[in-house]
Each structure stands twice: as C-alpha cells, then as structure tokens.
Structure 1
C-alpha cells in the first residue's frame, strides 16, 4: 500500500500512519481510538508479521529497514497477559482488557499445554498442531516452524512452541459429502467408517492443495492408492480419518526429532473431534493418548485464562500451571491406543510410501 497508494505513502512519510494486526486494531478502538492513541500488539500476533525478532520480542531493525517501514507506525509490544487499559465507552466502559493472543496460541493455552512436551491439535477445515518447547526456541530441521506460544506477563520469560499445519482435515470429509455424495452429513463419516475394521489397504493422501508440514510440497496431488475390487465407501471413509491421523503423526514425529522432548499426550479440539471413531483412529495411528475436553472452544478459553491471570481471577497464574488444574476438566475423555504395534508400524510404512507417490505430481504436468 505504501508503494501503490499515494495517500498511504504520504501518511507514512508524514508519520501519520499506524500499522498492526487485527488484535491491535480491535484494542485500539476499545481503549478509545484516536482520542487515546493506545496502539499495542502482543508477541504472538506480532510474530506473524515477519517483523518480530522472536528472541528479543522486539521489532527487528534490519527487517524494518528491508521493508522500508518507519518504526513509529508499529504498535508497542506487550505480553499476552497484562492489563492494557480499560474499555473507553459503551455498556462495558471501565472493564479492563487483560489478554491478547493469536488464534492457535490461544488454543494452546486453552488446552493448558503450558509445559515442554505438551501439545494440542485443532481440527477444523485444516489442522494446526502446536508443541510447547518451554523457554527455548527450537529451530526445526524437520519441516516445522518455531513460534512464540505465550508470555505470561510483562516481566515473564516467553514460552515457545513448534508448529505444524495440515492443509486438509475437515475439508476432506466435506469432499466426501459434497463432491462424492457418499455421506449426507459430516458426522456420518464415523458411522460409515465403523462398518469396516480397517481401510483394507487403502491410503488417502488428501493433498488437495499440496502438502504442508512437514513435507512442504505444493506440487503433491490428492491420491487414493491401494484400491482393489473389494474397496467400498466404508474403506474410503476410514482412509479419510486415517489420513488426518497419519499427517498428525508425521508432524509429531518431526517435533520429537527437533525438540528431543517426549510427547506427554495430545489434546484436541475443533469440529472433527466430535467423532469418537476419528479420535480412536488418531490414537491408534499415532500410538499416543488423545485427550478431548467436553468444552472445546479452546481459543476463547485461552483468551479468558490469559485475561483472568492478568487480574489474578480465581487465583489463576499461568506461570504456575497447577493453579489451572481444575479448569475445563469435567467431561474430558481419553482415547488410548488399542492397535497392536506391528499393525501400527505396517500402516505407518504404507502411509509414507503413499505420500512419496503423491509428491511432485503437478510438476510433471504440462501447463
């Protein structure tokens, strides 16, 4: 916009411009807008701008110079849990605002994955897995991203995470419903898949738009492989659930290699987690325990925990995870692996072969 819109360029040069992410804009308006000029951004959202030094938690001068941005246009950086000010007007006037956090980091906090080795995965249209690495930045050598997880207060040390994303999770089930017409609702995929004890040797690499972590292959193509004359819609439904589980395992395997920290368990949220079979398949394929809370609006809960911790509500303190021990525990369910290890190993090897066959497909197609 600075390069292509004269008004924006002129405002930037005149030092009459502010730039930030969504939470900085919402907070700016809540706290009085131009009347107060409170322009703040938390370290998790700021980490998505390509302008933050995640070690110092400050804007990186070399990046500002590279993009040609004046430092004055950027918000002041704050932690994810502190009182930033009070709402200026309306029915909530005077209420303090105490939490700012990015979507997936909020879900990490909401799932109380606050210590090294704790991980959560949000299964929506895509899937987003964050693995807490504690107070150290772990630079991935296995296809993942390092990110700021949260900072529990202005004087607290930041906590970091490894992150991996799956492009297609729930959208594969929508494909079965809307394009293939083999289910009438998304929830039906579990019932259909349950009609067969396994996928019958079928693998479904759901690379509708390439593969993200840890493969990073935009040329990969969606692949159904292992089809025989006995393959039926139930096998396809089960292979779809397994595809989600295999991609989750691939990310977790990379996280374990990068961090050296064992996975304690995987906490889950999002629409796909409503299906018991989908969660049991995830546990069986991954070989780890899956914990599903009853209340799964984890991003909203994480935001509330951050705000509550800032004002010491109910004695909550994010630097002392034990103070959150009773939060969102009612109705929580655990899914433990039931698949025999030999069968798990054979399935994992088959998945890796299927992925290799899907890779680079678009690169071989003439334009």
Structure 2
C-alpha cells in the first residue's frame, strides 16, 4: 500500500510518500519534501499569509514528491491530510488540495490527527515499543501514553505551548526565524552559562509557560536586550569575549536563552518522569518540533537512565512537521478500513489526541 501524506497545520507545508509492503516488510519512506514560510526577525506569521504560502507550494511539492518516489498517481492507494489541530487557514488550504486530488484521481481520503501523526512516525523511526510520549511543538505540549485503543493524555500545558513560548521570546530578542526560532535559541543558549532565576510552574501533571515568558520578556527589556540594534550590540559583546564568565556580570541574550531552556525543559522532564512512574514504563519518546532540541534530549536521557530506562528521539527530518508522518498514520488507519467521507473532510483547529480511535494497535 502506498499513501501520499499532506501536512500544513502551521508554517510548513510538507508532502510525504510512504510505502507499506504487502508482504509485511518494513515500511519505506519514498519521499519527504517540505517548504517553510519564514517571516522576518522579530515577527511572527499571520494565518492568511501562511495559507497563501501553502497554496503556492502544495502542487509543486506533490509533483516533486512523486518524482523523488518514482511512482505514478496510479500507484497511490489513498491521500492522507492533516485534519487538525492547527491554524485554521493553513489547514483549510491543505484540506482543499487533498479533496481536489481525491476527486481528480478517485482515491480515498484519510483525515489524520496531527499529534497522532507525530507519535506514529516516532514509533516507526525509533522502534520504541510502548513508550511514554512527550509531544512538544509550537502549538502543543502533552505527556501521553497508550491504553485501550487510545492515546491518553496524562498532562499538558494550561496555556501556551512550550514551542510557542520559545518562538515568542525569539521575537523579543530579534532572533532570526530561519530555519526556525527554536533552533536559533538553542544555538545561542550554548554560549550562555549564567542561570537566571525564572518562574517554574508545574501543577500536578500540567505546566504553565505564560508566566515564565512574561518574566523573561520583562527581563530582556529591562536589560536593554530586546530589538534589532540591541541584538547586534549584544552579539558583539558575546563574540568579543567581553561577556566573560564573571557570574556578577550583566546577563547576555545567550544567558537568557540558556536559562529559559533549562527551566522549561526541567518542567517537562518532571511531568514525564511522573507519567513513567504511573504507567511503569522505562521508555520515553520525544516527538514534535521542539523534540529535535539536543539539550531537551540530553536532560530527558539523564532522567531515563537514572530510572534504568532509555529515551528515543528523531532528527529534524521527522521531528519537525512533515508529510511523511501524516502518510504513516493515515496508512495505519486505512489498513483497518478507515476512510474519511468527503462530507466529513473539513479540518478543525481543535482535535485532541485522545479523540482518535487507535484501531491499529493491540
């Protein structure tokens, strides 16, 4: 069986082609292409602009994926698309394209939950058996474990997602959005060493990130580190060695990025460890765009090893939003007989992970 996966829930439009051999062999990634809408430093992105970007690129990427996979339309068994959650206008652009291809090529549609797509791709690539899943991205933060045909949510953010917290702080510091803000914060954080005291908010199994964002934003403004000119001056200070390792010296942008990462990732490690203890699991699978952060993987790995367990994560090819994860989850559902009627193929911004009936797992 062969599926085209179409992802466009945020600022990335991705097309993937996945093959599940009929002899029961290992699934194969035949193509995984994407294009990202990148806004100027210090700015976010508007849904209407992202939707326009997706409409401009989706057909080009479908053609490119078919060429790379060396398959034809006749070989395709189903068309999988992100039904939600995500940003409304970008989701709608991809849903329209998927419906058009379904009608044009007479192929069944499979609506896929974005979060479940991340989980299924992570399980496939890493080989994790039955892990506790930490799903961290620009729009979602959840601790998840599988039970009785559902992905159960053990804890989640009470306000904004951890990725959104990082992205918004990147705007304050005028950090570039290319390739993506979280990656650039990670690189800057490697130059920091002063741990600034920031709010640490864990409530049971849930986290809150709005307070820490407000605190670090205010600190950046009070230290004169926000804005384009301040960013250039502070970079010169860091690179020249002026920002030496005197713990009493004024914190730099690197120190603030370092402190923000250490604090929010410690919060995530805490609630993940609590979920592991509850379900008796020794495996952690990190998925979502923030999951590609090496420091988060390191901190989670230390915790897992202390419990006699292990951590699983993927690189940016599969962690960051992509079409192949939608194709993988869609094929798993399609093999159980699931299809999305055209009348039910509308996308939705709110589609919780635990709403999906995971009929393909024991």
Q: TM-score normalised to the size of structure 2?
A: 0.43
Which one has a bigger Cα radius of gyration?
A: 1
The structure in which a higher percent of residues are helix is: 2
Q: TM-score normalised to the size of structure 1?
A: 0.43
The structure showing larger relative contact order (alpha-carbon pairs under 8 Å, at least 6 residues apart) is 2
